[in-house]
Amino acid sequence: MPYPNETKSVTLDFPFEYKGQKVETLDIRRPKVRDQLIADKQNKESADKEVHLMSLLAGVEPELIQELDFNDYEQVQEVIVGFRKKHSENETSSED
C-alpha cells in the first residue's frame, strides 16, 4: 500500500551537518496510523516515540531528528499537528 503523497517542506532556521551532509530542509509527509503504531511499539518514552515518528515521516534516522535545534524541532511538530488539524477543520467546515 503506498504512502500518502502530501508533504510539507520545513526549511530549517538552524541548518547543520549530519554524517557529512548539510541538512537545510526536511520534507514531512502526512502520517498514517501505522507510523504511530511503529513509533509506539519501538519506544517506551513519549519523547522517543515522537522523535521516531518524526524520523519516519521525514524519511531520516531518529538520530538526525535528535540533532535539530529546538526551534526547528518545534516547526516539524507544528507541521505534523497541522496535518491532523487540516482534516478535522475540513470536516467541520463541510457541516455548515
Burial group, residue 90, by CB count within 10 angstroms (0-12, 13-18, 19+):
exposed
What are the tens digits of pLDDT across the range 35-81?
999 999 999 999 999 999 999 999 999 999 999 999 999 999 999 99
The CA-atom distances, in angstroms, between 48 and each of 29, 37, 41, 76 are 19, 13, 11, 15
Place of cell 510539507: 8
Measured over the CA atoms of residue 81, residue 8, residue 47 and residue 2, the dihedral's sign is positive
**pTM reported for the whole predicted model:** 0.82
Rg of the chain over Cα atoms, rounded to whole angstroms, equals: 14
Task: Quote the pLDDT of residue 26.
Answer: 98
Show me where the domains of the chain are located: 7-84
